[in-house]
Structure formats: structure tokens, C-alpha cells
Amino acid sequence: MLAFVRVAEVQSFAQASNVLGLSTSAVSKAVARLEADLGIKLFHRTTRSISLTADGVRFYEGCQQLLGELEALEAEIQGSRATPRGRLTVSVPTAFGRVCLVPILKSFTQAFPEIVLDISMDDRTVDLAEQGIDVAIRTGQLSDSANLIVRQLVTYPAIVCGSPIYFEQYGQPQHPEELQQHSCLNFRNRATGRFYPWSFAVDGKVERYAVSGSVVFDNADAIVRSAIAGIGLSQMPTFLAAEAISAGHLLEVLHPYRPPEVPVWACYLDRRFVAPRIRAFVEFMATQKEVFTKMCTLPANLTTT
């Protein structure tokens, strides 16, 4: 099984043999025995390349999980002697990854030099089991956490911002209902195709408002740049707005109506044995709460309306 997984990863019997410290013949025979035992073909083979069959893809996914469980079991038996190592796949929202995760990666790689981080920055919701993700960073309320272990890392405020240029031309809204009279930058969820609603705390309750404008994005950084350019107003996380607000490129409005802060979670599959590399990453992220909080806090000397 290990030989099969290594061949699938590098798409070469010769390279897999180097990784495993075996002869190419031994690796080839091991995979052939596995195919014979299963009664299926795992690879398409040509003189120049190999690739997984449909059955091979499914079996590869299962083998990854089983070998991960075995690694975690061995580490648990070894106790404190186990060193976190191996490839760790992480899924993180684009904006949070760029602003909050990247700056702390050097500290993590220095603390755990034998872990290789494979990070995907995407705003889509991922299926950890199906897509082979070790840890996912998610924001907001979790609707699909039944098979997950989750740990809250930080919370951040969502604020409405616009550029001084925009406010000079159109004025500042004093109540969320006045957003109907303004051009607003909507964020589209790539997975559902729907707009993220704008939420506000009004009269002790959280109210959602439908807003409209001439531009829609599915990328948070593009919304920030568009707000700075004066195209419209945006409701965005403070960690995205902080730099532009400090520089005077954006101003916060509707501060009295800020909604409840948005939680950020580290999620991983609920398994009997958790690989040391997963545990190490989640524990490290939890220790960064003070750093994340600072990134999500606006400078105290900035006034808002």
C-alpha cells in the first residue's frame, strides 16, 4: 500500500523506489501484487507515463487516510518521542491567509522544520475527507461541523468602509437603511453564487440588509482596492481594512451598528488518532491568538462615525 501511494504521488516507479529505498523492480512487484489481490487495475501505464485509473484514485484516497491513521497510532504509542513531520495540507480563506497566516509561517516552519506545508488559499468551503485536507481555517458559523473537531482562534469585527473621495461625493450613511441610497460592493460566494448578506446590530437585534451596486466580486482583496478607489462602500473584516484605514485611504462608517464579531476556526477531521503534524499546527495557531487579535484591531486613535 505504501509503495502504491508513493508511486501515485510522484507518478514514477523509479522515483518512488528512490523515496522508499527499494529497487524499482521491488516497487513494481509490490504494486502488481496489490492489483492482483484487489482484482482491479490501479494505474494506466504507457512507456512514457503512468496515471491513476478511476479505481486507483478512489483507492489512493482511502490509502492516504489509512496510512495517516497508522502514522498517528504509531506516534501515540511512541508518545512524546514522536516528532511532527510530513506533508500538511491546509485550506484557508484567501484574505485571512494573506494577511494573518503568511506573517506567522516563518515561526511555524522554524519550530517544526520536518513539516512541509501545502497551503491552498481559496474562499470555497472544502470537504476535508473528500479532498484530503488536514486542516481547514474557516470563518463565521459552521453548518457542517458534525464530523469535525473545531477550535476557535480569534474573532474579528465586520465594518463598513468607504474612501474619503466617495464620501465627499455622496456623503456618509448614518443608519443601515440609508445604504439603499449608496453604491455597495457585494461579495459573491463562489460555491453558492449568492451574495454575502450585510449584517448590523439594530435595536438589540442582528438585522440583515440587501444592498446593491454596480460591481460584484468573488475576491476580498479586489473589494478592498475598489473601496479605496471610491467605487463604493464595503462591509469587510477589520484585518483587511486596518492598513488602509491607518493610511487614511478608508474611513469606517456606521460604527454604532457593528454586528457581532465573526469567529475564525481551525477544523480537522474527528478521528481516533490525530497525526502529530495536525496537532502541532492547530496548537501553534491557538498560541497566536494575541497576534491575530492585534491584526484584527483598528488603531485606537482612529475616529469612526
Name the pairing type of β-strands 86-92 and 115-121: parallel
In this predicted structure, what is the pLDDT of residue 180?
Answer: 92
- pLDDT-derived band at 81, boundaries 50, 70, 90: low
Q: What pLDDT digit, counting tens, does each position of 214-264 carry?
A: 899 988 889 999 999 999 999 999 999 999 999 999 999 999 999 999 999
- What average pLDDT does range 187-198 have in this prediction? 82
In this predicted structure, what is the pLDDT of residue 66?
Answer: 81
Q: 83-156+262-295 — its CATH code?
A: 3.40.190.10
Write the class of the CATH domain 158-257. Answer: alpha beta
Half-sphere exposure (Cβ direction) of 164: Cα atoms closer than 13 Å: 6
- Report how far residue 113's alpha carbon sits from residue 12's, in angstroms, rounded to the nearest whole number: 27
Q: What pLDDT digit, counting tens, does each position of 87-118 carry?
A: 899 999 999 999 999 999 999 999 999 999 99
* 129 vs 148 pLDDT, higher one: 148
Fold of 2-79: Arc Repressor Mutant, subunit A (1.10.10)
In this predicted structure, what is the pLDDT of residue 235?
Answer: 95
- pTM of model > 0.75: no
In this predicted structure, what is the pLDDT of residue 79?
Answer: 61
In this predicted structure, what is the pLDDT of residue 196?
Answer: 84
> Matching CATH topology for 2-79 and 158-257?
no
Q: Highest mean pLDDT: which of 45-59, 200-214, 224-238, 264-278?
A: 224-238
Task: Domain ranges for the chain, please list them.
Answer: 2-79, 83-156+262-295, 158-257
Calculate what percentage of the chain has a pLDDT beyond 90: 56
- Report how far residue 164's alpha carbon sits from residue 227's, in angstroms, rounded to the nearest whole number: 10
- Report how far residue 193's alpha carbon sits from residue 67's, in angstroms, rounded to the nearest whole number: 36
| Residues in CB range of 82: below 8 A, 6 or more apart | 74, 75, 76, 276
Name the pairing type of β-strands 158-162 and 234-237: antiparallel
